[in-house]
Amino acid sequence: MKKIMWTKIYKGYPFLKILGITVLAFLMLMNTSGAVPFVYITNAGSNTVSIINTSTNKVTATVNLESPHFPLEVAITPDGTKVYFTNPIDNLISVINTSTNSITANVPVGTHPRGVAVTPDGKKLYIANSGDNTVYVIDANTNKVTATVNVGRWPRGVSVNPAGTKVYVTNYGSNNVSVIDTGTNKMTATVNVGQKPSGVVVTPGGKKVYVTNSGSNNVPGTVSVIDTNTNEVTSTVKVGNEPEGIAVDPDGKKVFVTNFFSKNVSVIDTATNKVISTVKVGIFPLGAAVDPDGKKVYVTNLWSSDVSLIDTVNNTVIATVPVGKEPVGVVVTPQ
C-alpha cells in the first residue's frame, strides 16, 4: 500500500520523486548509524585507542596518541559524545570527541591517575589518583578541577551510583572502599573488603556494589558485595584467580568479572550471588563492558592484544577482535 501511495503522489514529478527518495535514504542512513553502538578500547602498549563497530565487530578507526601516553581506564558520557581516559605516565585525563574521534583536551590531574567515572548527568568526572591517594572532581564543561577528596592508599576503581549521589572508590593499598557524597564531595564512609580491591560497579538499582579483590590470599579470588543502605559487605563470591575488571548488565541481573591469571570471566547471578558460568577468553583479561541492550560483553585481553565478545544469553565467546597492543580499558557508547 505504501508503494502504491508513493507512486500516486510522485507520478509525473521525477525531480520531486528523486529528491524525496534521496532525503529518505539520507534519514535512514542517519538513523541506522546513530543506532549502532561503538566500543572504545585503550591500548596501553601501542599508545592508541581502537574503535570497534558493534555491527561488524571490526576496528573502524584508531586514535593515535602522543608519547609517552599510556592509556588505561576509560569512561564515557551518558550521551556518548565524549570518552575520557587516564594517562598515568604524564598525569593527564584525555578527552575524545566521539563525532570526530580526535583528542580535544588534556586535563592535568593528580599523580598516577587510574580509575575514572562520569556522573549520570554528565556534568562531573571523578578520577582516582593512585600516586597521591586522592580523588579529583572535574567540571566536564570547563575541564577544571573543582574539588580534591582524600581517600585510602592507592585508589584504583571508581563507580557512581545511578542517582548520581554517591561515588565508590576502591583503595588497593588499604583493602577498603571509600564512599563519597557528590553533593559535598566529602568522604562519608569506609567499607572494609578483601585484599587489594581493584574493580567496582554499582548495580542499576543502586542497591548493591560489587568489588573485585585482586590480591586475595585465597585462590580463587573474591568479589565483595556491599549493601548501599548499610555500607556493609553482605556476601563474598569466589571467582577466578586475581579478579580485576567488572561490569553489570543493564537490568542488573548479571555481573561479569575478568579473572586475570585464570584467563576467564566469571558470570555472577545478582539474585543469588553465585557464579552461574565461567567463560574462557584471551590471555590476561582486564577490562569488561556490557553493550546497551545487555546482549554482549566486551573483554580486553592484555597479553593476546584482542577483545573477546561474549554472548550473554549462552555465555559463550562468539567473536575475537584484534586491537592494539596490550588493551586495558573498554566502554560502549549508548544506543
Cell of 108: 592535568
Q: What is the CA radius of gyration of the chain?
A: 21
**2, containing H or E segment:** helix 2-10
Residue pair 180/135 in contact (Cβ under 8 Å)? The answer is yes
- Structural domain boundaries, residue 69: 39-332
Nearest Cα to 180, choosing from 205, 200, 204? 200
Residues 57 and 150 in one domain: yes
Residues 194 and 107 in one domain: yes
Residue pair 334/80 in contact (Cβ under 8 Å)? The answer is yes
Residues 7 and 109 in one domain: no
Residue 26, φ and ψ in degrees, nearest 5: -65, -45
Going by DSSP bridges, is the β-strand pair 186-192/176-181 parallel, antiparallel, or unpaired? antiparallel
Beta bridge partner(s), residue 162: none
Residues 14 and 44 in one domain: no
Beta bridge partner(s), residue 267: 256, 277
Q: How high is the mean pLDDT of the chain?
A: 90
Cell of 245: 575488571
Residue pair 204/248 in contact (Cβ under 8 Å)? The answer is yes
Summarised one tens digit per residue, pLDDT across range 131-150 is 999 999 999 999 999 999 99
Summarised one tens digit per residue, pLDDT across range 142-181 is 999 999 999 999 999 999 999 999 999 999 999 999 999 9
Q: pLDDT class for 303, splitting at 50, 70, 90?
A: very high
Summarised one tens digit per residue, pLDDT across range 106-128 is 999 999 999 999 999 999 999 99
Domain total for the chain?
2
Residues 142 and 271 in one domain: yes
H helices of 176-246, in order, are none
Q: Give this prediction's pTM.
A: 0.89
Residues 92 and 228 in one domain: yes
- Map grid coordinates 542517519 to a residue: 30
How many CA atoms within 13 Å lie on the side-chain side of 239? 39
Residues 79 and 150 in one domain: yes
Task: Dump the DSSP string for 3-66.
Answer: HHHHHHHHTT-HHHHHHHHHHHHHHHHHHHHHHS-EEEEEETTTTEEEEEETTTTEEEEEEE--
Residues 94 and 222 in one domain: yes
Residues 2 and 87 in one domain: no
CATH number at residue 302: 2.130.10.10
Residues 117 and 218 in one domain: yes
**Alpha carbon distance 335, 329 (integer Å):** 19
Summarised one tens digit per residue, pLDDT across range 213-238 is 998 665 779 999 999 999 999 999 99
CA distances from 324 to 50, 54, 159 (A): 7, 17, 26
**Distance, first Cα to last Cα, the chain:** 31
**Alpha carbon distance 21, 311 (integer Å):** 37
Summarised one tens digit per residue, pLDDT across range 60-115 is 999 999 866 789 999 999 999 999 999 999 999 999 999 999 999 999 999 999 99
Residues 5 and 76 in one domain: no
Neighbours of 90 (CB within 10 A): 14
Share of the chain above pLDDT 70, in %: 88
Residues 27 and 122 in one domain: no
Residue pair 160/133 in contact (Cβ under 8 Å)? The answer is no
pLDDT surpassing 80 at residue 318? yes
